[in-house]
A and B are shown apart, each in its own frame.
Chain A
Amino acid sequence: MGKYTLKRLGYMLIVLVILSLIMFLIYSLVPSNRAYTDARNEMQAMKNAIPKGQQDEYFNQLYLKYQRQYGTDTDNKLILYLRWVGAYPYYDGSYNGLLQGNLGWSYDKQKPVVDVVSQPMINTIQINIYATILALGITIPLGICCAVRRGSKLDQGVQVLTIVGYSLPTFLISILFIWIFCSKLGWFPPSGMQTPGSTLTGFAAWKDEMYYRALPLITMTFCSLGGMTRYVRASMIEALSMDCIKTARAKGLRERAVIYSHAWRNALIPIVTLVVGWFLGIFSGSLVIENMFALNGMGQLMISSLRSADYDVVLLMQMFYVAISLMGNLIIDIAYGLVDPRVRVSK
């Protein structure tokens, strides 16, 4: 198992490097020249101090200085990439990249990217964990219930509802829920993180926060219900048709024991894949929801950074999404091994 995990980790690293290169190249397609902008700004500021004739020369010096400072004094994309990673020295011989802990600089907010990203990231992860717990709590019992009573009224109803659920895009469900729960019923606030100007602390503050997060959470959970329930149901049906179930029933085991200890363990394997994959999926799903409900999360930040062309932030967040997704694949593989002994043997 250890060796297998190591192998997977190594592979993951390679993919991460390749993807980061692709991302970086795409990012470098954007026509932007920070060194030039900064040099010109500085030039504007001290225009009067320099005699007319020397201005061009002085500007070129300034431009070169900034280029060297930002590491853009070459057109070689590979060198630029390596400098960004931190594996190639700058003009002055220093290394200053991701490996050295320099994650970039947000030009829009004039802060290191880490400071810009950290709070939204915490918010997003928090809300996604809540949503996962909620969704799993609902879908697993529901899916099992439908599988056991296959063909019943309940099952048929749930089948139709789930198709509707997973056919609708997230933003549509958000619009619908805002309309119903905010405009028509007035149960929840339509957007925001907390009551504006609130000075609550402790439990009261948490309650206020949850009140504001309730609707995004409900929406996010609802969006994932459709696909998840169907999946749980399908794998449970598959598991229930296995021979071991017949044997268990023939032995005279109680139905509860048959379903929960025999069938469920077998149904778990595909579900593990799904749960992890889905947990990753809601990161991009929350992109839309955060935008809808004006939550200060990564999705919101990503959209605003894209709009203001703050690409250092975007690039780092993109890498975060990729890393999360790769991690997810790794977790799926390891979890497979834990849930299904056969996988361990075969690898």
Chain B
Amino acid sequence: MSKKNQKAGGWLRRLWKGGGNDLADQMAKNSSNPSAMDVEEIISPTRQIVRNFMERKLAVGALVLLLLMFVVMFVGPLFMPNYYDAYTEVTQKSIPPTMSMMSVPKELQGDIKMIDGYGSFTVGLSNAGKVYVWGSTKIGTTGVDMKDIPQEVLDANVVMVAAGIDHAVAITDEGKVLCWGYAKLGQYGTQQSFADRGEEISPNVAYMPEILVNEGIDVSQIKKLTCGYQCSAILMQDGTLYLWGNKLTYANIDVFLAAGEMYDIDFTLNYIVGVNGRRNTIYTGSRGLYDMARANVNQPTVPVRDYLGDRKIETIVATSSSMCLMLDDGSVCFVGDFTSDMTPAPALPAGEQFVQVVGGAYHYSGLTNKGNVYSWGSNTQGQIKVDKKAVGSQQIFSGSFQTYSVDGQGKLQAKWGLKGYLFGTETHGADIFQRIINGGKMTMTIGAVAVIISSLIGILVGCVAGYFGGKVDILLMRVAEIFTAIPFLPFAMILSAVMGRMTLSETTRIFIIMCILGVLTWPGLARLVRGQVLVARESEYVTAAKAMGVKESTIAFKHILPNVMSVILVTLMLDFGTCMLTESSLSYLGFGVAYPRPTWGNMLNGANNATIINAYWWQWVFTALFLAVTTICINIVGDALRDVMDPKSSVEK
């Protein structure tokens, strides 16, 4: 018994040494015979296990990481109110990890003339006529980088710019139209330029009119330059329309190519929409497409003609599936499809009205005559959280998911919306980070439920077989052997494929997958429990219980089971890891949880050939990392626990 600690502070000492030891110390100090109350240091097995475990730095680290993973996966989804499984966004497909989608270059910030964006990148133009590009500028596997602005654009004094999904257009002060980006699908280029490159003339391409490239157009007469998915349009003051691009992206492009004259034009995702000289309808070339208007996003629809009455359409601002019309009396109205989660436009105070409205992919921003900016529409990427600094603005611009407000001197006041994607986006355009968090929840839930099912069966069978022995034991163990003879992955695949042929809801399917995993993994645990119970059955406390006349089933489950629990828990932990891996493999092969619902397995589904693995590395690296870290941590912690629980091995080490 050491006496060193006797002078230390009371409570601290007791905390450290334990109350019993401390009391013994005190008594030994006060009594005449110091060794009378000597106690041996006794540590409960649990404390010993914890102490041994704590000595292993790696295992403790792994445990902390694992707990962190759990917390993130189960708490994380609560912070993603806008997330839903089936989210797809065609303009945001396969974007590499970036946070630069809203970072306006420093040189441009004080001198903005205009900003435009449609997809993953945004183009900006300074009053000095210089063009800037930011955001995710590498276009898929095409090898095109929008940041490589051609020299002729850099040299020229540009007066207007616009951006499409994979091309950009600039108009110089001489009226020449210059484009860059991906051109293989006919995004830009005259028929002559295609012929020069030796490419076939395709009926699916509307080629650029020669006049735009050769003679140039009168810059002062340009009313609007706008880009759609892979199309572009220039509208002149006199109504002349220049339209070119990939015809396959807009079904009604031929109508507009033939129409020739328009009052206003814009692109939704699938249609070109225009306003013709009469200015009282939306012109799309086909009847019934956009002929219902509404006063606000959440208001009932009225036929456009009735709604307008004598009023005329002044401007048309299109987003992906809807458009906002500015009328000549200063009011706005809406046409097209709006989902129920969209925020309606704000009711303006008396005397205030919109002077400019811009549209992104799913949101609108409006500037009023008092210089206030409002945003409304979809908020999936935080597009409508207006920055408080946006007061007294003179102009606003929008990217696909961003809004920029600019003051009278062309200085950037505020910007809000989508900054970028931490882990990039997948092939459908959904944020991989959000899917990893939600997928992790799914993967872990499946693993956990599978383990619970397997442990219920395993413990029950193991206890019964081990305790009762004899014929019961033989029978149960034979059954277990049959289950072990079933090859796991092929069998699970067959079951899942068979289920796929039946009409089941996705939730039922997932539950059945959990059951399959659980039912196929129990024999290992059952054997382990049986072995443990066989040993425990011979111990004294069981003999004592028997002598006292305790019921057999009570002995098996209430006396023996708690004593073998620690070993079971470790096995369960390792099984949890295995189940997660199996679920991932199943989902990866396409026989587990199916697409819109994410799991770590099916998120890696796309990474099955060398091209994708290399080009879209972010689509598997992060998910794989999460999966790997979690399973590695589970195994490290499980292994360490098994080692420290086994007294033999702890002596050895």
Contact digits for B513-527, partner A, Cβ 8 Å, 1 yes 0 no? 000000000000000
Contacts of A322 in B (CB 8 A): 485-487
Contact for A30 among B501, B624, B627, B653, CB less than 8 A: B501
6 contacts between A and B (CB under 8 A): A15-B481, A27-B498, A175-B604, A280-B487, A306-B494, A309-B501
Contact A175 B607 (CB under 8 A): yes
Given contacts A287-B489, A318-B490, A322-B487, contact A303 B589 (CB under 8 A): yes
By beta carbon, the residue of chain A nearest B639 is A163
- Selected from B501, B610, B617, the residue in CB contact (under 8 A) with A182 is B610
In chain B, positions 479-503 with a C-beta closer than 8 Å to chain A are 481-482, 484-491, 493-495, 497-498, 501-502
Given A176-B624, A284-B489, A302-B493, 5 more A-B residue pairs with CB atoms under 8 Å apart are A30-B498, A168-B632, A172-B627, A190-B610, A325-B484
User: With an 8 A cutoff between CB atoms, is A79 at the interface?
Assistant: no
The minimal Cβ–Cβ distance linking B15 to chain A, given in whole angstroms, is: 34
Min distance, Cβ A236 to any Cβ of chain B, angstroms: 13
Q: Is the CB of B485 within 8 A of A326?
A: yes
B585 touches A169 (CB 8 A): yes
By the criterion CB–CB under 8 Å, are A163 and B485 in contact?
A: no
Closest to B503 in A: A31
Residues of B within 8 A of A306 (CB): 493-494, 497, 591
Cβ contacts under 8 Å, A184 to chain B: 614
**When chains A and B are docked, how far (Å) is the Cα of A303 from the Cα of B486?**
17
Most buried by A among B478, B607, B634: B607
- A9 at the binding interface (Cβ < 8 Å): no
Task: Report the separation of the CA atoms of residues A115 and B577 in the bound assembly, to the nearest whole angstrom.
Answer: 39
CB-defined contacts of B584 to chain A, threshold 8 Å: 169, 171
Give Cα A322 to B486, complex, Å.
6
Is A164 among interface residues, defined by CB-CB distance under 8 A? yes
B200 at the interface (CB under 8 A from A): no
Interface of B is mostly: helix
Report the count of interface residues on A (CB-CB < 8 A): 54
Within 8 Å CB of B498, what residues of A? 26-27, 29-30
Chain A residues near B577: list those with CB within 8 A: 167
Q: For chain A residues 263-299, which have a beta carbon within 8 Å of chain B?
A: 280, 283-285, 287-288, 291-292
B41 within 8 A of A: no
Main secondary structure of the interface of A (DSSP, over half): helix
A168 touching B490, Cβ below 8 Å: no
Q: Are A191 and B614 in contact (CB under 8 A)?
A: no
A62: Cβ under 8 A from any B Cβ: no
For A179, the closest partner residue in chain B by CB is: B613
Contacts of B478 in A (CB 8 A): 15
Identify the closest chain A residue to B630 (Cβ): A167
Determine the chain A residues whose CB is within 8 A of the CB of B604 once the complex forms. 171-172, 175
CA distance A27 to B490 in the complex (A): 13
B149 within 8 A of partner (CB): no
A160 to chain B, nearest CB (A): 7
B620 at the interface (CB under 8 A from A): yes
Q: Indicate if B631 sits at the interface (CB-CB under 8 A).
A: yes
Residues of B within 8 A of A325 (CB): 484-487
Are B581 and A169 within 8 A (Cβ)?
yes
Contacts of A284 in B (CB 8 A): 487-490
Within 8 A of A (CB), among B585-638: 585, 588-589, 591, 604, 607-610, 613-614, 617, 620, 624, 627-628, 631-632, 634-636
Q: Does B302 contact A (CB under 8 A)?
A: no
Q: Return the chain B residue nearest A284 by Cβ.
A: B489
A241 in the interface (beta carbon within 8 A):
yes
> What number of residue pairs across chains A and B have CB atoms under 8 A from each other?
131
A163 to B487, CA, bound (A): 24
A190 to B615, CA, bound (A): 14
Q: How far, in whole Å, are A290 and B236 apart by their CA atoms in the complex? A: 60
> Are B632's CB and A15's CB within 8 A?
no
Cα distance A175–B589 in the bound complex, in angstroms = 13
The CA of A164 and the CA of B632, in the complex, are separated in Å by 6
**Those of A167-214 within 8 Å (CB) of chain B:** 167-172, 175-176, 178-179, 182-184, 190-191
Do B494 and A170 have beta carbons less than 8 Å apart? no
- Nearest CB in chain A: distance from B647 CB, A: 14
Residue interface mask B378-394, A partner, CB < 8 A = 1: 00000000000000000
**Assembled-state Cα–Cα distance A311/B51 (Å):** 55
Interface assignment of B50: CB less than 8 Å from any CB of chain A: no
Q: Does B652 contact A (CB under 8 A)?
A: yes
B589 touches A291 (CB 8 A): yes
Contacts of B58 in A (CB 8 A): 160
A306 to B499, CA, bound (A): 12
Complex partner residue of A329 from B485, B487, B632, CB under 8 angstroms: B485
CB distance from A19 to the nearest CB of B (A): 6
Residues in chain B near residue A303, CB distance under 8 A: 493, 589
- On whether the beta carbons of A15 and B635 are closer than 8 Å, the reply is no
- The answer to whether A170 touches B490 (Cβ under 8 A) is no
Asked whether, in the complex, the Cβ of A172 is within 8 Å of the Cβ of B628, the reply is: yes
User: Contact at A31–B502, with CB atoms within 8 Å?
Assistant: yes
Q: Which listed residue (B488, B610, B652) contacts A191, Cβ 8 A?
A: B610
Beta-carbon contact of B613 and A318 below 8 Å = no
Could you say which of A26, A168, A170 contacts B495, with CB atoms under 8 Å apart? A26
CB–CB B652/A163 < 8 A: no
Q: Tell me the minimal C-beta distance from A76 to chain B in angstroms.
A: 20
Contact between B620 and A318, CB atoms less than 8 A apart: no
* Chain B residues, CB < 8 A from A314: 494, 497
- Whether a CB of chain B sits under 8 angstroms from the CB of A248 is no
> Quick check: A171 and B614 within 8 Å, CB to CB?
no
| A309→B493 CA distance, assembly (Å) | 12
| Least Cβ–Cβ distance between A234 and chain B, in angstroms | 10
For B497, give the chain A residue with the smallest CB separation.
Answer: A306
Minimum Cβ distance to chain B for residue A314 (Å): 6
Task: List residues of A (6-63) whose CB comes within 8 Å of B's CBs.
Answer: 15, 18-19, 23, 26-27, 29-32
A105 at interface by CB-CB < 8 Å: no
**Of all chain B residues, which has the CB nearest A151?**
B653
Chain A's closest residue to B633 (CB) is: A167
Chain B residues with CB below 8 A from A280, complex form: 487
Q: Are B494 and A318 in touch, CB under 8 angstroms?
A: yes
B490 — nearest CB in chain A belongs to which residue? A321
Question: B635 touching A167 by the CB < 8 A rule?
Answer: yes
CA distance A302 to B639 in the complex (A): 35
Chain A residues closer than 8 Å to B484, beta-carbon distance: 325, 329
Q: Which residues of B sit under 8 angstroms from A309, Cβ to Cβ?
A: 497, 501
Residue A336 is within 8 A (CB to CB) of chain B in the complex:
no
**Interfacial chain A residues near B489, Cβ < 8 Å:** 284-285, 287-288
B355 CB to nearest chain A CB (Å): 53
Chain B CB within 10 A, most for which of A163, A167, A322: A167
B624 contact from A172, A178, A191, A291, Cβ within 8 A = A172
In the complex the two chains form, is A175's CB within 8 Å of B624's CB? yes
On whether the beta carbons of A287 and B490 are closer than 8 Å, the reply is yes
Contact of A183 among B591, B614, B628, B634 (CB under 8 A): B614
**In whole angstroms, how far apart are the Cα atoms of A212 and B494 in the complex?**
29
Given contacts A291-B589, A321-B487, A168 and B628 within 8 Å (CB-CB): yes
CA distance A321 to B632 in the complex (A): 29
